[in-house]
Chain A
Amino acid sequence: MKDKEIKKRISEIHTVRMTPTEKSLLFERISENIGNVPSPYMHRSFFGRLFHPKSPWVLYATIALCGVAFVSGGSMVMAENSLPGDVLYSVKINVSEPLRDSFIFNEMDRARWEVEKTKRRLQEAEELASQGKFVVDDATNLKENINDSMEDFSLHIKNAEQAGIPDAVIAARLDYEAAIEAHSKILENMHNIGSSTPQGGVLGTFYRDISGMADEVSQTRKTDEESVLKTNKVSIDDIQKTLVEDINTTRNILSQNPSYDQGYVEVISSLLGEAEAEIGQAIDKNNSGQMEDAYSILNDAACDIKEAHIILDQAPKVGINNIPSMAVSTSTQIQ
Chain B
Amino acid sequence: MKKMDVVKNRFSELYDAQSDAIFRYCLLRTSDREVALDITQDVFVRFWDVLIKEKDVKNDRAFLFTIARNLVIDWYRKKKSFSLDSMMEVDNDDLFSSVYNNTKEDIDLSTEARYVIDKIKDLEPIYHQVIYYRFVENLKPKDIAEILGESPNVISVRINRGMEQLRNIMGSKKDA
Show the binding face of A for B, using Cβ within 8 Å: 1-7, 9-18, 22-23, 26-27, 29-30, 33-34, 37-40
Contacts and interface: CB of A to CB of B under 8 A. Distances in A.
B175 interface: yes
Contacts of A1: 170-173
Interface residues of B, number: 43
Nearest to B40: A26
A16 B108 contact: yes
Contacts of B131: 10
Interface in B155-176: 163, 166-167, 170-175
B45 A16 contact: no
Contacts of B163: 3, 6
Given A13-B24, A13-B113, 8 more contacts: A6-B172, A9-B113, A10-B131, A17-B20, A27-B19, A37-B12, A38-B8, A38-B9
Contacts of B66: none
Nearest to B163: A3
Contacts of A2: 172-173, 175
SS class, residues of chain B in contact with chain A: helix
Contact of B45 (A3, A13, A23, A30): A30
Contacts of B108: 16
Given A3-B175, A6-B166, A13-B113, A18 B23 contact: yes
Contacts of A17: 20, 23-24
Contacts of B136: 10-11, 13-14
Contacts of B49: 34
A18 B109 contact: no
Given A2-B173, A16-B28, A16-B109, A23 B20 contact: yes
A18 B37 contact: yes
B123 to A, nearest CB: 12
Contacts of B72: none
A18 B19 contact: yes
A145 B27 CA distance: 69
